[in-house]
Amino acid sequence: MIKSLFSKKPKPSRYASDTPSASEENSIKNSAVYGNNLDLFSLQNAGVSVTEQTAMQVSAVYACVSLIGGAISSMPLPVYQRTSDGRKKVDNDVWWLLNEQPNPMYSAAVFWESMVGSLLLHGDAFARIIRSGSSGIIGFEWIHSNRVTVRSSAEGLVYIVQPNVFPFKPEEQKTIAAMDMIHIAGPGFNGLRGMSQIRYVLRNSAGIAIAADQYSAAFFENGARPDFAVELAGSPTPEQQEMMRKSWMERYQGIGRAHTPALLTNGAKVHELTLNAEDSQLLTTRQFQVEDICRIFGTPPFMVGHTQTTTSWGSGVESMGIGFVKYTLARHLTKIEQELNRKIWPYTKKYLVEFNTAGLERGDYKTRQEGYRVGIGRAGEPGWLTVNEVRRIENMPPVEGGDLLNTGTTNDPTTAQAAGA
């Protein structure tokens, strides 16, 4: 019964940036929807179509994409200025665009969730940099990966963006230079595009998961009963057989009639033909697909509600948060930061942006207090944090005298003033 999930072999695939075949171009032209709702390559595996929409119907895929996207979209992205002794936070117009509102259409959180979703599912994330002469950068516009074609030219990469409507005329396409396009590529970058997860790794895992979900739904739709045959005494006519079949389905099919006792007359017998869900390993298959999909996104299963396995990241909230940032988010954060820095300030190294991951890595209240005591200085030990720096971390207003650093000397007036504050 479960063998049907694995009955079809995957077809050879290509990079998403390669020229589509004639059949693929025809499918694009014949599509009734374009833009955000069109997946250029609707691939089949395990007998089902795997697109962005169908992949997101798999709970594990949805959970992983929303978890990573939500975590990144909730992180502050401050602007720093490099100085001779390090760096310092500065007020910059770009901060508002990256943290609050990239354009009047949507908030920064929606922008970053959309960007990360494109990166995780399609292998690339695109956003147009909106510039206005002397005003510099005035906004960012997220562009769905399916609308972008990347080409190489003597000046570098060129991005051809198709309108968000279909059909469209060739002259309605926009050509955007590399300096005006934020392009975050995923693994397998071939110089133009990253590898599409939907066309590669998710094609198998999501395809099997979708097939298993569909099979499970059909299984319970039929009353969670295995396939069986009813043996009738004598030699009933075809009309009598069909009448018996329809009568049985009307009485016993569906979840609401799952436990209705069957009444057999005239020597009729029921013969079970297939195994139940446990014996056919349907549940085991579905559990494995959750782990396989989490492996693709680098997400620990326990963070998407799959608690069948244990984690080696520790048991505390702080340990799990640090592990999530280090092993799941860091690879995405670094790419985003580097792309923003080289495109927003292409002619200067004075400014930079960097995600603040402290919110995800912070421990519980007791652990934080113990760390602050060490940072401020205790038992005659010098400190490396001031009182106001600690209060700023906890989103509290500064206090008078709280900017003095504890030197560790008890008779030092600096220490006395800090302690009195």
Residues 325 and 358 in one domain: yes
Residues 309 and 399 in one domain: no
Measured distance CA(66)–CA(88) in Å, rounded:
32
Average pLDDT over residues 78-97: 91
**pLDDT confidence band for 69 (50 / 70 / 90):** very high
**pLDDT confidence band for 124 (50 / 70 / 90):** very high
> Is 15 inside any structural domain?
yes
Q: Which domain holds residue 99?
A: 1-147+163-169+182-224+276-363
pLDDT greater at residue 151 or residue 283: 151
The amino acid occupying position 372 is: Y
- pLDDT for 117 equals 95
Domain final residue pick, 363, 385, 401: 363
Residues 110 and 247 in one domain: no
Which two structure tokens, joined as six digits, stand for 145?
């990966």
DSSP state letters, 166-197: SS--GGG-EEEEGGGEEEEE-TT--SS-PPPT
- pLDDT for 189 equals 93
- pLDDT for 275 equals 54
Measured distance CA(270)–CA(226) in Å, rounded:
12
pLDDT greater at residue 216 or residue 193: 193
Instruction: Note the pLDDT tens digit of each residue in 248-285.
Output: 777 666 656 555 666 666 667 776 656 555 545 666 66
The mean of the pLDDT values for the chain is 77
> Is 174 inside any structural domain?
no
> SS in 3 state form for 258-269?
CCCCCCCCCCCE
Residues 196 and 265 in one domain: no
- pLDDT for 413 equals 45
> Is 177 inside any structural domain?
no
Residues 130 and 268 in one domain: no
Average pLDDT over residues 186-193: 92
pLDDT at position 60 over 70: yes
Domain final residue pick, 325, 348, 363: 363
Instruction: Note the pLDDT tens digit of each residue in 330-388.
Output: 999 999 999 999 999 988 889 999 999 887 776 667 778 888 888 898 877 888 899 99
- pLDDT for 4 equals 43
> Is 155 inside any structural domain?
no
- pLDDT for 85 equals 80
**pLDDT confidence band for 391 (50 / 70 / 90):** confident
For 170-184, 245-259, 382-396, which range has the lowest pLDDT when averaged over its residues?
Answer: 245-259
The amino acid occupying position 96 is: W
Instruction: Note the pLDDT tens digit of each residue in 197-209.
Output: 888 887 777 777 7
Q: 180: closest CA among 231, 145, 136?
A: 136
Which two structure tokens, joined as six digits, stand for 322?
């640090």
Is residue 291 within 8 A of residue 309, CB to CB? The reply is yes
> Is 240 inside any structural domain?
yes
Domain final residue pick, 258, 273, 288: 273
> Is 305 inside any structural domain?
yes
CA angle 69, 288, 41 (to 5 degrees): 55
Residues 359 and 369 in one domain: no
- pLDDT for 407 equals 85
Residues 220 and 234 in one domain: no
> Is 175 inside any structural domain?
no
Residues 218 and 233 in one domain: no
Whole-number percent of the chain with pLDDT over 90: 32
Domains held by the chain: number: 3
- pLDDT for 335 equals 96
Residues 119 and 8 in one domain: yes
pLDDT greater at residue 392 or residue 46: 392
pLDDT at position 127 over 80: yes
pLDDT at position 10 over 50: no
User: In which residue are the tokens 């002469």 written?
Assistant: 133
- pLDDT for 22 equals 46
For 105-109, 223-227, 230-234, which range has the lowest pLDDT when averaged over its residues?
Answer: 223-227
Is residue 212 within 8 A of residue 285, CB to CB? The reply is yes
Residues 211 and 330 in one domain: yes
Q: 199: closest CA among 54, 41, 63, 58?
A: 41
pLDDT greater at residue 217 or residue 406: 406
Residues 219 and 235 in one domain: no
Residues 116 and 210 in one domain: yes
- Residue 234 contacts by C-beta under 8 Å, 6 or more apart in sequence? 266
Phi first, then psi: what are they for 362, rounded to 5°?
-70, 145
> Is 153 inside any structural domain?
no
